[in-house]
Amino acid sequence: MHDPHQLLEAGPESVRRLARRRHELDIDALDGALRARALARAEVTRLRTELNHTAKARRSGPPTDAEREAARALRGEVQRAETTARTTVDTLNDILLGIPNLPLDQVPDGISEKEAVEIRRGGPAPCPVDGARHHAEIGETLGILDPSGAARLSGARFSVARGAGARLERALGDFFLDLHTAEHGYTEQSVPFLASRDTMTGTGQLPKFEEELFHTRVGERELYLIPTGEVPLTNLVAGKLLDVRGLPYAVTARTACFRAEAGAYGRDTRGLLRLHQFEKVELVRVCAPEDAQQQLELMTAHAEECLSRLELSFRTVLLPAGDLGFSARMTYDIEVWLPGGGTYREISSVSDCGDFQARRAGIRVRHADGRKTPAATLNGSALPIGRTVAALLEQGVRDDGSVVLPDALVPYTGFRRLLPGGGTE
């Protein structure tokens, strides 16, 4: 959420920056809503002051009927003014909650991933496309993926891993968590997979993306299934004042994630790339605003390290303004090479959200000089389990149909090679 005063003070600059991400800022509507809130609040203050003065000025002894009636009428005016003030606050918040974050100047222009700017490449050279196989085919031949079983259980866009495949998924989660906690300084958390409306609003999923979320209602209680571990991890410090000396706040968790994938009809219906439910290890950092850019580079390096340890070919790109997530002001996408499709595909998005989420969730920093400001929040995947499995299968498959795993995973899996038919060695 933005400070409306800052948006209006910047005026044309705010309009220009938001236009880069295909959002049309209605300055007049914002200004009108802000003025209406100010007038309504002023009226409440005036009437409350009048009510207090009337009570103090009343002569001693029981009030007369006229005084009782005047006081009753004034209290009614106060109540009506308070109702109007609440309405103006809601109107302003509705406008602000629909405005995405402002992209930083170093973010390139463009409206899609095609206009992302490649920053660097990592891992071994990309393996050739000729003769490459899709990970779904490889997984079925190995006997580790069971798409028909998933379809019987839940329908399209779900997966079942079995035997060595389930073991591989468990191994990846443990490997990522061990790397981030032991070497990168994150504190592991175990968090709920259901979140309240306030929690989802704090990180920007609501109200903008309500139709893309799974939710449940039991009686009067409504909860949403989290689309990413960013939601609970960031909101663990919602409403808190953090001492700058204890920052950055760095946490990680392995969670299930649930996404309706609205608008993805017909895309990636086969395999592990676009599922309604998947598991992911998430990274979240909260820091002082002036440290956000350095923390973004650090977190990106942490995600890249996962792929380097797994000996996977990847590249890192800087997303253009029109392709940024709602809460992000700058994002690096890390894309892994999938020879089965002959393309790089996003496996991690690492985003600097500035103070956008912190304003919504009430996360503040107490600086050394005593100042209190909104914090900066950052988040990134490191890494999703399913997409990593897909990359390991497609990059690691051999001519005999077996798949060789990287050395880093062997201590976690207990095997080095997946064999056709479900065997390992």
Q: What's the pLDDT tens digit per position in 120-176?
A: 999 999 999 998 999 999 999 999 999 999 999 999 999 999 999 999 999 999 999
Does residue 319 share a domain with residue 280? yes
Judge whether 108 lies within some domain. Answer: no
Residue 283 to residues 15, 86, 270, Cα–Cα distance (Å): 32, 37, 28
Mean pLDDT across the stretch 283-298? 98
Total structural domains within the chain: 2
Give the whole-angstrom CA distance, residue 218 versus residue 198: 17
CATH assignment at residue 48: 1.10.287.40
**Given 20, 21, 157, 259, which residue is catalytic?**
259
In a domain, 256, yes or no: yes
Q: Which of 104, 112, 98, 117 is nearest to 322 (CA)?
A: 112
Calpha distance 203→326 (Å, rounded) = 10
User: Is residue 88 located within the same domain as residue 120?
Assistant: no
Residue 60: the pLDDT is 64
Any idea what the CATH number is for the domain that residue 238 is in? 3.30.930.10
Overall average pLDDT of the 77-104 stretch: 96
Containing structural domain, residue 20: 4-97
Same domain flag for 261 and 127: yes
The C-alpha atoms of residue 13 and residue 102 are separated, in whole angstroms, by 10
Catalytic, out of 349, 351, 381, 402: 349
Using CA atoms, how far apart are residues 103 and 46, in angstroms rounded to an integer?
40
79 and 118 together in one domain:
no
179 with 58, same domain: the answer is no
- Residues 291 and 383 both lie in one domain: yes
Mean pLDDT of the chain: 95
The letter for the amino acid at 402 is S
- Write out pLDDT tens, residues 352-382: 999 999 999 999 999 999 999 999 999 999 9
Torsion of CA 12, 17, 19, 22, to 10 degrees: -160
The tens digit of pLDDT for each residue in 294-343 reads: 999 999 999 999 999 999 999 999 999 999 999 999 999 999 999 999 99
Give yes or no: 327 in active site.
no
pLDDT, one tens digit per residue, over 233-283 is: 999 999 999 999 999 999 999 999 999 975 556 677 789 999 999 999 999
Mean of pLDDT values over 41-55: 90
Among this protein's residues, is 335 annotated catalytic?
no
43 & 192 share domain = no
**Predicted pLDDT of residue 62:** 77
Residue 241 lies in a domain: yes
Among 285, 315, 345, 387, the active-site one is 387
423 lies in some domain: no
pLDDT for 58 equals 65
Mark whether 167 is an active-site residue. Answer: no
Look up residue 280 and give its DSSP letter.
E
Query: 425 in a domain, yes or no?
Result: no
Q: Is 346 a catalytic residue?
A: yes
Concatenated DSSP letters of 190-237: ---SEE-HHHHHHTT-TTTTGGGS-EEEETTEEEEE-SSTHHHHHHTT
pLDDT (tens digit per residue) in 177-235: 999 999 999 999 999 999 999 999 999 999 999 999 999 999 999 999 999 999 999 99
**Percentage with pLDDT > 90 across the chain:** 91
**φ, ψ (nearest 5 deg) of residue 107:** -75, 130
In this model, does residue 351 exceed pLDDT 90?
A: yes
Choose the final residue of a domain: 97, 127, 153.
Answer: 97
**pLDDT computed for residue 261 by the predictor:** 77
Q: From the candidates 274, 309, 366, 417, which is the catalytic residue?
A: 274
Q: Among this protein's residues, is 68 annotated catalytic?
A: no
User: Exactly one of 279, 346, 416, 417 is catalytic; which is it?
Assistant: 346
Q: Are residues 211 and 318 in the same domain?
A: yes
